[in-house]
């Protein structure tokens, strides 16, 4: 026993810390300086289509974090045995398998939302963030770091997704989390809503903005987000 513990100790000392500053950077970088949507411009399609309501966007965000994290992990574990010529197919198979798992789980847990998201859960396969991170990071880094990078990028993506969805649902429908167990009705013309526009006289003019329901609105909102993000973080400004 004594011998084995002595043998193990130096090995532990050599190992890098499990969650040091480098690892923390992997998680926080995609939230700000290297955000998948506002900086890398990857994975826009689903960001536009899903965000009319907050609840589906929330589910979508979780699904992307899951797929991104685990596809990075598995690709990184396999990175030394994947031949360079067929790496895309291998990556696609890993992603497609994970997406199928997510799709089946969602169908079992919340059928209504899974029908709402139907095509877009499938389109996670072609979500460029997942593939982009596998190419750029997981193929060249160790599993634990790749996993954190995947989680970070998934969260960076999910954060923007939720922010866009909150704006669109609040102004387009007057509610938040519609269709979920915790449905909040914020503003609207009946007694169900917190701010009832028919009884509060100074809100009588209020109407839902139907533009927010159109997919064009998502373009404007992301455009404005990029504007805010870059004026707050000037080193991201496009100089070209």
Partner 1 sequence: MELVNIFIKSAFIENMVLTYFLGMCSYLAVSKTVKTAFGLGLAVIFVLGITMPINWLINNYLLAEGGILGQDLTFLRLILFIAVIASMVQLVEMVIEKLSPSLYNSLGIFLPLITVNCAILGGNLFMVTREYNFTESVAFGLGGGFGWFLAIIAIAAIREKIRYSNVPAPLRGLGMAFIITGLMGIAFLSLLGIDPAAF
In the bound state with partner 1, the residue whose beta carbon lies nearer, of 70 and 187, is 70
**Burial classification of residue 204, based on how many CB atoms lie within 10 Å of its CB (0-12 exposed, 13-18 middle, 19 or more buried):** exposed
CB of 81 to partner 1, least distance (A): 20
CB of 230 to partner 1, least distance (A): 4
In the bound state with partner 1, the residue whose beta carbon lies nearer, of 53 and 187, is 53
CB of 209 to partner 1, least distance (A): 14
CB of 95 to partner 1, least distance (A): 9
Q: What is the Cα–Cα distance from 198 to 146, expressed in whole angstroms? A: 53
Mode of pairing for the β-strands spanning 195-196 and 184-185: unpaired
In the bound state with partner 1, the residue whose beta carbon lies nearer, of 44 and 62, is 44
DSSP letter string over 171-203?
A: HHHSEESTTSSS-EE-EESSTTSSEETTTSGGG
Q: Which residues bind partner 1 (CB under 8 A)?
A: 38, 41-46, 48-49, 88-89, 92-93, 96, 99-100, 119, 122-123, 125-128, 131, 214-220, 222-224, 226-231, 234, 237-238, 240
Q: What is the Cα–Cα distance from 9 to 18, expressed in whole angstroms? A: 16
- Angle in degrees, 0-180, between the axes of helices 54-78 and 143-173, rounded to the nearest 10: 170
In the bound state with partner 1, the residue whose beta carbon lies nearer, of 12 and 237, is 237
In the bound state with partner 1, the residue whose beta carbon lies nearer, of 88 and 200, is 88
Handedness of CA 24, 25, 27, 32 (dihedral sign): positive
CB of 55 to partner 1, least distance (A): 20
């Amino acid at each position: 026993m004594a011998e084995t513990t002595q043998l193990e100790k130096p090995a532990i000392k050599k190992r890098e810390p499990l969650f040091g500053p480098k690892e923390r950077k992997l998680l926080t970088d995609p939230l700000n300086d290297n955000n998948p949507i506002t900086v890398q411009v990857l994975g826009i399609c689903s960001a536009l289509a899903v965000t009319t309501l907050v609840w589906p966007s929330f589910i979508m965000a979780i699904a992307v974090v899951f797929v991104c994290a685990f596809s990075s992990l598995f690709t990184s574990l396999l990175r030394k045995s994947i031949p360079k010529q067929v790496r895309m197919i291998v990556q696609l198979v890993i992603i497609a398998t994970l997406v199928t798992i997510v799709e089946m789980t969602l169908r079992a847990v919340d059928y209504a939302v899974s029908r709402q998201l139907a095509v877009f859960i499938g389109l996670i396969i072609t979500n460029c963030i997942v593939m982009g991170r596998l190419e750029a990071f997981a193929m060249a880094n160790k599993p634990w770091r790749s996993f954190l990078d995947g989680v970070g990028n998934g969260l960076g993506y999910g954060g923007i997704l939720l922010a866009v969805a909150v704006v669109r649902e609040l102004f387009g429908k007057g509610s938040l989390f519609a269709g979920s167990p915790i449905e909040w009705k914020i503003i609207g013309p009946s007694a169900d809503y917190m701010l009832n526009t028919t009884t509060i006289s100074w809100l009588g003019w209020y109407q839902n903005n139907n533009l927010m329901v159109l997919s064009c609105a998502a373009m404007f909102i992301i455009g404005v987000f990029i504007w805010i993000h870059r004026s707050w973080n000037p080193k991201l400004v496009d100089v070209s």
